[in-house]
A and B are shown apart, each in its own frame.
Chain A
């Protein structure tokens, strides 16, 4: 009979002594999974350090014979997209200019809206909330042409501002959902007491809600940043030339039918482009889970 031990936080744990086989099994399974999950990253990193010829000669999976750091230099500032040979660097900047504002706006507005919907009820809020969250399911192809028409009518086509607008409004679907589910758990007495003391909507938000929000805000920021940074369809359609986000540059590097594949440089470019989001999950992963734990799931 196996005995489990309750640890302080209520999770189950197998006792270490005497039941090594089960423990070992756990470690084995976890390691296998970890290897499978890491494999693609490892392959890309290794490929980024191999020359294109080397990759063409053998398979996509292999150990570098010499360390081709040149791939990174080329990817960062060397490779050419038609006339411009500036590598991926300008596109990274564009992506940042689109992603950071859109993330901030959609998070802030979503928090306020989520707070309003959950703690300050008003007429029609259920309907509006329902429609907004339904937006999570509207496919992106259905929105491409309508957005073209909208951007044309407000004169923002081919501007980074236009893209920020699109991503902010579309991001609201997600941010409102998550924030509202989080704020629902806040005791109403807190708000009532503050109101009695004379505080209004924004004061309560600033003084009470916001300080409590860091778990969910982290979740929202991470999620939004990742999605907007990695987005391709709108990025390509609503920008031109040098304004395009980094996803467009990656496609330019790989969609070359009229070209021998440059897998080495391509892999280096992929790693560089994915660094921001990878780092976010590296350092923020714990807070991400914590934020989800703190009641985002309803």
Chain B
């Protein structure tokens, strides 16, 4: 029996009645408020989240950001303490597989409706999206993407070494490094000595040699790949890279070498796009350096993904819930993503943002093109050094092996391979 007009009107009426509370919420019946925890208290990260906060307040919200000084561990400590205390922040920084792990200890907000309304899922790389919907529902939203294996080349150093072509394969890279050395640069590579930095040296080598082997070994923990020839070659390449770094850097971050890099005393830097934000904040110009995708032996760019995200914890308060919705909308908004990425040097998560306009650097354009290319060729993999490929415990165990290998020249690649396999077994 067809639906009569009265019933239709009844249906329409009840639908409207149901929609009214949501409508009222959206109209700001409650002033949205957001409590946020992150580690971003300084530098370009601090500036970016502060700018995001201003936008939040422009839309009528109350922004309560608590940066936790220190690194991610301190932030996680604070988050854990808050969760145990039964008082999680409405929104916190979290990323990678940790999102899945932490979502098991406290209830999160189901963002599927908001994501669908914004059509966000269509414009996010599938590998990335998976990390943020661990049980099939969106509970976190990625905000910015970095590649951890971009190659920064100092213009002055390239001139000194009389090199004009950026290297494409690892063989090219090695040749260029040797050239720079003979041009007088004792240490052609400006990388630092922190744990993530050492991890980056390794993962850039491994993924550049074979993204398929990297995916199998590091992301899927496949036993055969963990003992194969590619990983051994990766360690050998890492040794070469380590030898080209200044041993005096100790455990200092790469930032201490930036001046020498720009001046031409060091020529290359394997780093993520955030270095661009750091360089900009330190007063250096885009003209001082060139960014190209990291070396890849098959000629096509390999993209080691690192993406920050915000996770939303369930709260009963209406104003916090409104704040969460507002924050979700902002994070998915292309203008906000543009603003954020332009401050930090990352690229937006949305694949539909046009980077040809003002405010974007060539490096960012290169990175975005590399991402598109890599996704198309299935060469976009998750970074180990930045906790995207595995959970923190396993990652730390693997980085233990890698950083020891980098700092101890007497460890052979074969030994490193077996130690890494042991570490994976031990931390399982």
Interface residues of A (CB under 8 A from B): 56-57, 80-83, 144-145, 148-149, 151-152, 157-158, 236-238, 240-241, 244, 248-249, 251-253, 255-261
Contacts and interface: CB of A to CB of B under 8 A. Distances in A.
Contacts of A248: 69
B53 A257 contact: no
B253 interface: yes
A256 B43 contact: yes
B282 interface: yes
A258 B274 contact: yes
B49 A82 contact: yes
A14 B84 CA distance: 64
Contacts of B81: 148, 157, 237-238
Nearest to A145: B84
B42, B78, B256, B281: most-surrounded residue (chain A CB, <10 A): B42
B27 to A, nearest CB: 27
Contacts of B258: 260
B65 A83 contact: yes
Q: Which 8 A-B pairs have the closest CB atoms?
A: A259-B43, A252-B69, A258-B43, A152-B85, A260-B282, A82-B67, A251-B69, A241-B66
6 contacts: A82-B46, A82-B67, A236-B69, A236-B74, A257-B253, A258-B274
How extensive is the interface on chain B, given as a class?
A: 35 or more
Nearest to B67: A82
Interface of B: 37, 40-46, 49-50, 53, 63-71, 74, 77-78, 80-82, 84-87, 194, 253, 255-256, 258-259, 274, 277-278, 281-282, 344
B78 A81 contact: no
Nearest to A251: B69
A82 B40 contact: yes
Nearest to A152: B85
A157 B63 CA distance: 21
Nearest to A258: B43
Nearest to B45: A258
Contacts of A249: 69
B399 to A, nearest CB: 15
Tell me whether chain B's interface is mostly helix, strand or loop, or mixed: helix
Contact of A81 (B67, B256, B277): B67
Nearest to B63: A83
Given A152-B85, A251-B69, A256-B42, 12 more contacts: A80-B46, A83-B53, A148-B85, A240-B78, A244-B69, A249-B69, A251-B70, A257-B43, A257-B194, A257-B253, A258-B40, A258-B277
Contacts of B65: 82-83, 241
Nearest to A238: B81
Nearest to B43: A259
Contacts of A259: 42-44, 255, 278, 281-282
Contacts of B43: 256-259
Given A81-B69, A260-B281, A252 B84 contact: no
Nearest to B284: A260
B69 A258 contact: no
Nearest to B78: A237
B274 A237 contact: no
Contact of A157 (B50, B87, B256, B281): B87
Nearest to B42: A256
B319 to A, nearest CB: 18
A214 B81 CA distance: 40
Contacts of B259: 56-57
A158 B68 CA distance: 13
Contacts of B86: 152
A236 B70 contact: yes
A260 B40 contact: no
Nearest to B46: A82
A82 B85 contact: no
Contacts of A145: 84
B42 A261 contact: no
Contacts of B53: 83
B54 to A, nearest CB: 9
Contacts of A56: 259
A157 B85 contact: yes
A259 B42 CA distance: 7
A261 B69 contact: no
